[in-house]
Structure 1
Amino acid sequence: MTVSREEIRAKLDLIVAGMTGLRHDGRFDEPNLDGTAGDYISFDSWEWPQGVGLYGLVRLWLHTGRDDLRRLVEAWYDRRLEAGLPSLNVNTTAPMLALSILWRETKEPRWKAPLDDWATRVLSELGRTAEGAFEHHVSDKVNDHELWDDTLYMVGLFLAAYGEASGRKELTDEAALQFLVHTRYLADTRTGLWFHGWTFDGRHNFAEARWARGNAWITAGMLDLFDLAQMPPPVKTFLLGVLKAQVEALLPLQAPSGAWRTLLDDESSYEEISATAGIGYGLLKGFRLGIGGPAWRDAGMRAVRAVLDNVDETGTVLNVSYGTRMGHDLQFYRDIPLQPTGYGQALSILCLCEALHHAETRTR
């Protein structure tokens, strides 16, 4: 397997262009609860796929120092803040993560008030389940009494990042609580993998889907959590143990192509590249930080090869599953359509950025 830094850098440039060119083509009609049109594809929409996309761009900016990326992200936030922010929910919180890192690095005054206000409202206004976890309320659906692993990436990382950067300890404490309570109900003690969701109504894990992208939110998100904020030592030790158990379960489930399937333990489900990128990123980062051994690096580089092989000439990351609601049976996940998205682009950016630390002319 050959992975060169030159190939990775060329694909990163393409993926950025592919992300900014994303446009809603009318294929999916998902109106929001307030009557506005939902747009989970176009680059200029304020939603969770774009939020993850911006995080990828900010991470790439930090890695490369490219001013054009910083200007791109700053212009995006200027446009969206001038237009007015949407209603607060779990998914509309996602764009605040990249903004918090942008503010941390630049200390630009115009970002401070929106960040402070949004963070304060998250603590006081988001619905909560028993034991204090955030209910997964989103723009087009109220999911009362439900925990989804997506919430940790969309809200938990923002609270950690902005809490650390601003000195607001109540935010980092909240991030720790959310990771702990979600782990209690979503980490599968039998396998080490994570379930997609949990409901306190009937107290069950829905279809018990060990869904790949949900697991990727955890593999990638836990490692970034420790970068973004200082967690109390017992919390960090506990979560690292959970992460290692998850990776131990993930490694034997990697397909020969280097990808993981959208249902991790179901060979009849399709290989899915956004999850592959997120997991690959976590494995490579974990190896670089000394958390995991050579098996993490080897599997991560195989994932890199799968990602590179799924970027077309326009920079579009292919074989990415569309936004996935909670499934009540496993067939639901097998049937999720494929659609290029901001999170597919961004998770691939994260994976390839991390791969630059590891890439050689030839890897074994």
Structure 2
Amino acid sequence: MAYMKGNNELAGWAERVYHRMIDKAENNWGMNMESWDWVPGVGVISILAYGQLAGNQGAIEYLLQWTERNKHLSEQVKVINSMAPYAIFPDLYRLSGDQWYLETAIKIGDWMLTEAPRTREGAFEHTVTENVHFSEQVWADTLFMAVLFLARLAKLTGDSKYAKEAEFQLLVHLRLLQDTHTGVLFHGWNCAEGNHMSSARWTRANAWVILATPWIAEEISNLIPFSDEIVERYQQLAAGLLHYQGEHGMWSTVMDQPEFYAETSGSAGIAAGWLAGMRMGWLDVTYKEAVDLTLQGVMERIEPDGTVQGVSGGTPVMPSISAYEEIPCNPTLYGQGLTLILLSLAQVEIGGSYG
């Protein structure tokens, strides 16, 4: 089955989604690019992917300017969930030659290796900028928000210590969060209590991991022997996600609760992760039809001005599964971003080996 949308159409929608992120200054939490946290972090990671995949030099220039405007804010926060913006630093260093990017990235990478809070299993504790503590908690989000940066730093420097840590974090997160019965991931793990708290199979948590895993592997697999267990767990995750995909290509915000609302950011991230897995050779072409279905469903939620609708708000590990349904939906940079990554990857694959 060929992709339902043509290359030019995907490019046009990607450009609208991108410009919706950068053209209008907004102070609300979900769409504010001028801050230093995971939300704009996902935004800049997605803009980098878009700029590279679509060959949009303007997007790269935007990131250089964004960093110049906001780098002073980075000095105020040093928590795991706010590592996300640093994931663009290795590429910006390669593109600009500015030593500040390299020196800052190494400083932050070393902080993660030696000082960042960890659980008893050695996983990064999910620390955040908000005045709230998740002591001894492991969240799926961390792999995209922090470990992706470490993997990119490893490739930039050629230093295996960052690669080994990235692989370890990936493996320990998968071991703690993966449901052995379904293959999909729970949102979080409480190390002190030894349980998955509400045991929610939250869709966006799965999206972070299905996308981050092949991206991390791509960065570090030439530096260290890459774990076969990670690949096997990734394939189990991919198959489990296929099982829960709805008829319109989307996933409910908690994927095993089909009566819950369909959620756009997680759905886009899952399809993007499948595409990344196919590019790595980890998944076969049987996933193409499922990607098409999600692409169609996601694009139906993009407004003419590029606003992505149906995106659930910021979501900690909730006290019950039913509480996830109560999270309101609003446009956000991570919703825009995961959609932009999907559109960009799909555009490349149409012109490449999946045409």
Q: Which moved more, 1:222-231 or 1:209-218?
A: 222-231
Residue 125 of structure 2 is matched in structure 1 by 135
The DSSP-based 3-state class of the residue aligned with 2:138 is: strand
Paired AA for residue 343 in structure 1: Y
Residue 113 of structure 1 is matched in structure 2 by 103
**Matches of 1:333 and 1:287, distance apart in 2:** 31
**Contact map agreement 2:154 2:219 (CA 8 A) in 1:** no
Deviation string for 1:223-244 (max 9, x for gaps)?
1112222264351x11110011
Deviation at 1:107, TM superposition (A): 3.2
Residue 291 of structure 1 is matched in structure 2 by 282
Match among 191, 204, 207 for residue 195 of structure 2 = 204
**Matches of 1:71 and 1:61, distance apart in 2:** 9
- Number of residue pairs matched by the alignment: 348
**Contact map agreement 1:286 1:296 (CA 8 A) in 2:** no
**Matches of 1:210 and 1:322, distance apart in 2:** 17
Match among 72, 95, 112 for residue 122 of structure 1 = 112
5 Å-filtered alignment, 1:56-95, equals 56-82=46-72, 85-95=75-85
Deviation string for 1:209-266 (max 9, x for gaps)?
000000001110111112222264351x111100111111111211121111111111
**Matches of 2:346 and 2:274, distance apart in 1:** 10
Residue 322 of structure 1 is matched in structure 2 by 313
TM-score by length of 1: 0.91
Deviation string for 1:135-188 (max 9, x for gaps)?
111111221111001011111110011122112221111111111111121011
5 Å-filtered alignment, 1:131-280, equals 131-140=121-130, 141-230=132-221, 232-235=224-227, 237-280=228-271
Residue 27 of structure 2 is matched in structure 1 by 24
Matched, 1:46 2:46: no
Deviation string for 1:291-336 (max 9, x for gaps)?
2223211111111111211111221111011110111210111111
The DSSP-based 3-state class of the residue aligned with 1:205 is: coil
Deviation at 1:77, TM superposition (A): 0.3
Q: Once superposed, what is the RMSD of the aligned Cα atoms?
A: 1.8
Residue 11 of structure 1 is matched in structure 2 by 13
**Matches of 2:46 and 2:73, distance apart in 1:** 23
**Matches of 2:93 and 2:155, distance apart in 1:** 12
Q: Which moved more, 1:127-136 or 1:60-69?
A: 60-69
Residue 2 of structure 1 is matched in structure 2 by 4
Residue 345 of structure 1 is matched in structure 2 by 336
The DSSP-based 3-state class of the residue aligned with 2:189 is: strand
**Contact map agreement 1:284 1:301 (CA 8 A) in 2:** no
Deviation at 1:125, TM superposition (A): 2.2
Paired AA for residue 23 in structure 1: E
**Matches of 1:99 and 1:6, distance apart in 2:** 30
**Contact map agreement 1:127 1:135 (CA 8 A) in 2:** yes
Unaligned runs of 5+ in 2: none
TM-score by length of 2: 0.93
Q: Which moved more, 1:153-162 or 1:110-119?
A: 110-119
Residue 35 of structure 1 is matched in structure 2 by none
The DSSP-based 3-state class of the residue aligned with 1:137 is: coil
**Matches of 1:243 and 1:148, distance apart in 2:** 17
Deviation string for 1:272-308 (max 9, x for gaps)?
1111111111112323443222321111111111121
Q: Relative to structure 1, is the Cα distance of residues 15 and 144 closer, same or farther in structure 2, using a 3 angstrom cutoff? A: same
**Matches of 2:64 and 2:113, distance apart in 1:** 26
**Matches of 2:68 and 2:5, distance apart in 1:** 37
Paired AA for residue 93 in structure 1: M
Matched, 1:333 2:335: no
